[in-house]
Every structure is written in structure tokens, then in C-alpha cells.
């Protein structure tokens, strides 16, 4: 999928920005605070319907204005040309449109333009709690499977309903048991489908991870990962063709056994919303034994693996967003990433506060690379001429 052009109105520090993108590698340079990340965030809005830097749409609105608008055109293999727009108005909320017709649900947008995002926040993936890793898995799978996203939305609702029952009826065990049953049956049914899907994606994902990690490090160290569910024992999830039906009995049992604990904590403690994805490097658990550098590379490799996984699994190539990725990388790895982007047939967007780190790839005569410079929310494309680059 190619984002051919984008238009931002009152979006963070962009009062009005219109840009035509290159179809392959787009490099955006400019000083800190110029609005580079905001451009990637705008593309992210068109793919996922939300910001990757901000928890609320309200914070994205340019100061002194009441709303923002992002519009972009896309071309792809399945749909040759379409336009996505996302508008937000204080009080009215968010509106997502495809070719000017409004989408009924936010979920209908997900997967239309697959996207992979590399951002400084990725260090949380390997270093912080399981919620980050679940969210990575969920976002990755949702873009390839609308049914999975549907299950996820339904599952979260069931958990909220169940938790409310635990709070309301925790002191009446008999009544609680009777009232929980209709929710528990659905929890196990939907939850099992989620666990089965996650386990099967993780199994396929490992090969892509090995490829990406080796490309980045050339170290021969082997990354691997295990999906760890609290509903069913790990080894039962490693089979080649695990189905939700295989998970249901164990899940039901675990859920029934935890009712007392659930009552005490007024929370559902068993289920895929508490599962984890455990990362290993040469069979050592990364979170416990990994060095800072290993964490950083591992996180980047995860995102590159996601790109490769989508490239095989989806009809359309994903859009690849890399926000300030070179700040942390040494020269050799920076070159590796840049070469990898040039070799990959998909479209990518890279922000760089220090263009000297990628000086080998800027200002050169390569039709695959488009360069943009931005200062104070004003954007200029650098045009390649006989005397080098000019604006």
C-alpha cells in the first residue's frame, strides 16, 4: 500500500501541510520539535484511527483551534485508489471516512492500510510489563484478521461485565455463581479463540524474527519467543495446529478454580487479558539477562519481523513508519536498516533529527529516496538537481 499524498489541518504544530510522498523511502529531517513525528502520527491516524504519541485526540488539535483534519490518498493491489480522512472536532468527537463515506465502527478501518511503526517507545516492549507485549500482538494480529479484532472487542466487554458482577455480588457466593455462568461460557468461548490465534501467529512469527535479528546483528544469536497463557500449559500451545476447542476445557477449569481469588480481588484473573509473550535470546530470557543494546536491537527486530510477516501474509505491503530510530543505533546498524528499507519493496517514512547519521543515503542520486525538510511545522521537499539538493 502506498500513501501518495497527505494533507494536515490544525494537526499539532501543522496549521496546514500538503505533501506528495515518494513511493519508496521518504526521509524527513529537521530540528527537534519541528513537527517530524507529527507527520508520521498523521499517517498513523489514517491507518489505525488514532495517535501513537498521544492518549487523547484532544491533545492532537493545534492550540487555539477546535479540531483537526487529516486526509490521505492511497494506492494498493486490491483497491487501486482510495482516500481516507480522519477529522476531530471538540464536542463532536472523531469521524473516519473512506472515499467520503463514514465508517460505522472504528474497527472497520483497521487492516485497510496495514502499518508497522518503529518508535522510541518500543523499548517498553522488551523491558516493561506484559501489557505492552499483549498490545503488540493484538495490534499485529488485528491488522490481518478482522474476526480477531471483533473477538478482542467482545472479550474485553465480557471481562468488564464479569468484573462488575464480582464487585456487585462478591459477598453472595451462591447468587454470584448463578449470575457468572452466562458470562463465563462466553468468556471461555471467545477467550479460547484469542489464545489459539495468538499462539498460532507467534509460532509463524518466530522465523521472521530470526531472519530480522540476524540481518541486524549478524551475530548468530538466535531469538525465540513463547506465548505464555494462564489458561493452558505452555507445551499444549506449541502444537502445529492448535484450535480453540483444544483450549476450552483447560481454560474452563482454570476459570472455575479461580472464582475465589476473583471474588477477593473483584477482578477476572484468568484469561488472555493476563497472558504474556516471553522473549529469549539463545535460550536465555531477554528480560532477565539481556543488555541494554540487546534489548534495543531485539525491539527493532520485532518490528522488522512484523514487516516481513505482513509482506508474506497480506495482499498489500504495509506502510513502514520509523520515528527517530537512528538516534540509538551505531553506524553499521544504521546502514543495515537503510539498506534493508531500500531492498524492501514497500513504502517507508523515516524521521531523523541528525541527518549526518544517514549522510550516506541523503543528497545522493537515488530515485528511490525522497527527502523532506521541516522547520516550525513548515515542510519543504528537497529537490535533486545538478548542484545537489535544493528546496
Partner 1 sequence: MQLISETLEQAVEQLARLPGMGRKSAQRIAMHLLKQDNEQVFRLSKAISDLKKNIQYCSTCFNITDKDPCPVCSSPKRNTGVVCVVEEPKDVYVIERTKEFTGRYHVLGGVISPLQDVGPNEIRINELVQRIRNGEGISELILALNPDAEGEATGYYINKLVGPLGVNVTRIAHGIPMGTELEFIDDATLTRAFAGRRTF
Write out the residues near partner 1 by the rule CB under 8 A.
108, 146-147, 149-150, 154, 157-158, 160-162, 164-165, 168, 179, 181-183, 185-186
Q: Which is nearer to partner 1, 96 or 302 (CB)?
A: 96
Q: What is the rounded CA–CA span in Å between residue 321 and residue 167?
A: 42
User: 62: number of CA atoms within 13 Å, CB side?
Assistant: 20
Cell of 315: 495482499
Q: Which is nearer to partner 1, 127 or 170 (CB)?
A: 170
Give buried/exposed letters for 140-158 (b at 16+ CB in 10 A, else e): bbbbbbeebbebbebbeeb
Q: How far is the CB of 232 from partner 1 (least distance, A)?
A: 21
Q: Which residues pair with 72 in a beta bridge?
A: 6, 84
- Shortest reach from residue 182's CB to partner 1, in Å: 4
Residue placing its CB nearer to partner 1 in the complex, 91 or 385: 91
CA atoms within 13 A on the CB side of 207: 8
Shortest distance, position 327 Cβ to partner 1, whole Å: 39
- Find the shortest distance in angstroms from Cβ 190 to partner 1: 8
By beta-carbon proximity to partner 1, the closer residue of 147 and 256 is 147
The minimum distance between CB 373 and partner 1, in angstroms, equals 41
> Closest approach of Cβ 105 to partner 1, in Å?
9
Residue 105 C-alpha from the chain's centroid: 19
CB of residue 54 to partner 1, shortest distance in Å: 27
Nearest-5° angle of CA 208, CA 119, CA 331?
75
Non-local (6+) Cβ contacts of 86 within 8 A are: 45, 46, 49, 69, 70, 71, 94, 95, 96, 97
Nearer of residues 150 and 375 to partner 1, judged by Cβ: 150
Amino acid at each position: 500500500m502506498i500513501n501518495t499524498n497527505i494533507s494536515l489541518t490544525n494537526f499539532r504544530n501543522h496549521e496546514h501541510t500538503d505533501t506528495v510522498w515518494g513511493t519508496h523511502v521518504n526521509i524527513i529531517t529537521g530540528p527537534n520539535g519541528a513537527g517530524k513525528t507529527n507527520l508520521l502520527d498523521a499517517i498513523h491516524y489514517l491507518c489505525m484511527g488514532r495517535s501513537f504519541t498521544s492518549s487523547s485526540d484532544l491533545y492532537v488539535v493545534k492550540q487555539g483551534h477546535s479540531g483537526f483534519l487529516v486526509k490521505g490518498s492511497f494506492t494498493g493491489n486490491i483497491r487501486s485508489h482510495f482516500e481516507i480522512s480522519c477529522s476531530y472536532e471538540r464536542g463532536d468527537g472523531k469521524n473516519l471516512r473512506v472515499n467520503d463515506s463514514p465508517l460505522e465502527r472504528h474497527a472497520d478501518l483497521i487492516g485497510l492500510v496495514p502499518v508497522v511503526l518503529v518508535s522510541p517507545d518500543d523499548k517498553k516492549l522488551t523491558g516493561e510489563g506484559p501489557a505492552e507485549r499483549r498490545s503488540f500482538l493484538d495490534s499485529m494480529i488485528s491488522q490481518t484478521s478482522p474476526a480477531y479484532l471483533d473477538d478482542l472487542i467482545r472479550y474485553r466487554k465480557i471481562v468488564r461485565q464479569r468484573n462488575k458482577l464480582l464487585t456487585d455480588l462478591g459477598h453472595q457466593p451462591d447468587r454470584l455463581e448463578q449470575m457468572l455462568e452466562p458470562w463465563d461460557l462466553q468468556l471461555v468461548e471467545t477467550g479460547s479463540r484469542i489464545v489459539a490465534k495468538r499462539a498460532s501467529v507467534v509460532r509463524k512469527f518466530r522465523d521472521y524474527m530470526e531472519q530480522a535479528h540476524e540481518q541486524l546483528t549478524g551475530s548468530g544469536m538466535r531469538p525465540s519467543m513463547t506465548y505464555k497463557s494462564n489458561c493452558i500449559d505452555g507445551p499444549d500451545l506449541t502444537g502445529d495446529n492448535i484450535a480453540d476447542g483444544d483450549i476450552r476445557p483447560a481454560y474452563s477449569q482454570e476459570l472455575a478454580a479461580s472464582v475465589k481469588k476473583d471474588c477477593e480481588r473483584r477482578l477476572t484473573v484468568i484469561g488472555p487479558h493476563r497472558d504474556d509473550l516471553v522473549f529469549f535470546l539463545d535460550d536465555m530470557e531477554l528480560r532477565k539477562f539481556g543488555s541494554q543494546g540487546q534489548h534495543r536491537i531485539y525491539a527493532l527486530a520485532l518490528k522488522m519481523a512484523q514487516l516481513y510477516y505482513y509482506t508474506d501474509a497480506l495482499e498489500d505491503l504495509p506502510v513502514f513508519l520509523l520515528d527517530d530510530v537512528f538516534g540509538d543505533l551505531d553506524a553499521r546498524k544504521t546502514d543495515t536498516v537503510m539498506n534493508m528499507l531500500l531492498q524492501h519493496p514497500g513504502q517507508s517514512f523515516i524521521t531523523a533529527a541528525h541527518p549526518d547519521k544517514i549522510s550516506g543515503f541523503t543528497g545522493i542520486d537515488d530515485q528511490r529516496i525522497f527527502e523532506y525538510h521541516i522547520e516550525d511545522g513548515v515542510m519543504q521537499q528537497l529537490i535533486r538537481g545538478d548542484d545537489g539538493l535544493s528546496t
